[in-house]
Amino acid sequence: KNQVEQSPQSLIILEGKNCTLQCNYTVSPFSNLRWYKQDTGRGPVSLTIMTFSENTKSNGRYTATLDADTKQSSLHITASQLSDSASYICVVSSYQAGTALIFGKGTTLSVSS
Amino acid sequence: DTGVSQDPRHKITKRGQNVTFRCDPISEHNRLYWYRQTLGQGPEFLTYFQNEAQLEKSRLLSDRFSAERPKGSFSTLEIQRTEQGDSAMYLCASSSPQANTEAFFGQGTRLTVV
């Protein structure tokens, strides 16, 4: 069964600190992996998209890594800001599932001052 | 506006009523998706269109749900005889035909069934 598991479920950090969110998947065959940021009551916004051959990709203070062998990904946030408070969702696309995106449940990040 | 647009943003309806939501994708995107998201959960896939053809439907899409994309542009999602369990955020996304391209999401329609 195609699944995407994220950890931790929630996280609280102080402004300025770094954090790392984890994503494990069992989706096969693998097409690509995406990280989305979703503010409360809003639609998800894409942060990064990584294909099989990409190990790391950065978008400002966000850096995503992908290990396609172990089927793991991480999202590292550097020097967190209050505006980083949101849900971060790992999404995997599989060719076998058509082009449907398989979503994790997300990690809720709260950045406090 | 060049983003994905959804209407309405919020809908409150009585149990048993029918509701219809609209999604206008980014104009050059031929792929359109509907997702449902409940509180504290990630979005769950409902259905997918490529142009006007509905190519994939989730088992979550019961016979009370129907989606259309008659001209390959905007799409509608109708829920008949709404139940309280239908209360959720309904998200629409669109993407271009190329592989490994971004899917852009709309702001969603928040449905509350009372």
DSSP states of chain B: --S-EEE-SEEEE-TT--EEEEEE--TT--EEEEEEE-TTS--EEEEEEETTEEEEE-TTS-TTEEEE-TTSS-EEEEESS--GGG-EEEEEEEE-SSTTPPPEE---EEEEE-
> Which of the two residues, B6 and A32, has the higher pLDDT score?
B6
Interface of B with A (CB under 8 A): 4, 6, 31, 33, 35, 40-45, 48, 55-56, 58, 89, 91, 93, 95, 99-108, 110
Q: How far is B28 from chain A (nearest CA, A)?
A: 17
What is the rounded distance in angstroms from the CA atom of residue A96 to the CA atom of residue B5? 29
Q: Given a cut of 60, is residue A97 above it in pLDDT?
A: no
| pLDDT for res A2 | 80
Q: Residues, chain A, total?
A: 113
pLDDT value of residue A99: 56
Q: Is the pLDDT of residue B1 over 60?
A: no
CB < 8 Å to B35, chain A = 103
What percent of chain B has a predicted confidence (pLDDT) above 70?
Answer: 96
Closest alpha carbon within chain B to A104: B42
* Pair A92, A30: CB distance under 8 Å: yes
Q: Do A100 and B40 touch (CB under 8 A)?
A: no
Average pLDDT of the segment spanning A82-88: 96
Contact list in B for residue A109 (CB cut-off 8 A) is none
Top residue of A93, A99, A108 to mutate, by most chain B CBs within 10 Å, is: A99
